[in-house]
Amino acid sequence: MRNIIIDETWSLIVERGFQKFTMQDLAEKLHISKKTIYVLFKNKHQLISEAVSYIIENEMEMTLSCLNQKITYKEKLQAVIHYYYNYRFPKNVLEEMRAHFPHEWGKIERLNQFKITLFKDIYMTGVKEGVFRNDVNPVMIETIIDGTITKLLCTKLLTERDMKLNEALEDLHKILIRGIEKQ
């Protein structure tokens, strides 16, 4: 029941935002009483926190699962970026989280670091295997990814340019892969 509540909570957050969904909305959607929810979660904040953690853990597991497949290093790098947020974090949710839920935003930042570390590790292994150029400083790759992701997530750039996060991430992937790939 706990996971069902968390899944539905996330659906309501995506639909209405963190602050506009209510425990009553959640109870009605699940056809349960609010009391049932409060038996499992002491308050709305705990429920939000667990929902964000659940989505992020799921994102990490999906990425690692993809990387465990027999795919090329290029495909692994693409998986790290492609599965970024698994498109489950719409712009409005990210903006609201950053502005009003700093603890939850910290989880997003940890996810960013997880992805950057994976990307860097795959790149370094690819260099050793002769797949990627060895004259590109991994610190610069990390800086470029971190700076770009931070800019995309922390500003209204996507909204102002009428871009979707997945499109921007796909462009980032193309730029990075072409820059580090051996000719």
CATH H-level superfamily of 2-180: Tetracycline Repressor, domain 2 (1.10.357.10)
Q: What are 47-56's pLDDT values in tens digits?
A: 999 999 999 9
Provide the residue ranges of all domains of the chain, joining segments of one domain with +: 2-180
Instruction: Name the pLDDT band for 133 (thresholds 50, 70, 90).
Output: confident
Q: What are 75-131's pLDDT values in tens digits?
A: 888 888 766 554 577 778 888 998 899 999 999 889 888 988 998 899 999 999 998
Q: Quick one: pLDDT at residue 84?
A: 55
CA 90: distance to chain centroid?
A: 10
Contact between 74 and 123 (Cβ < 8 Å):
no
Torsion of CA 62, 173, 106, 147, to 10 degrees: 170
pTM (global) more than 0.85: no
DSSP state of 84: G
Q: Residue with structure tokens 């730029």?
A: 175
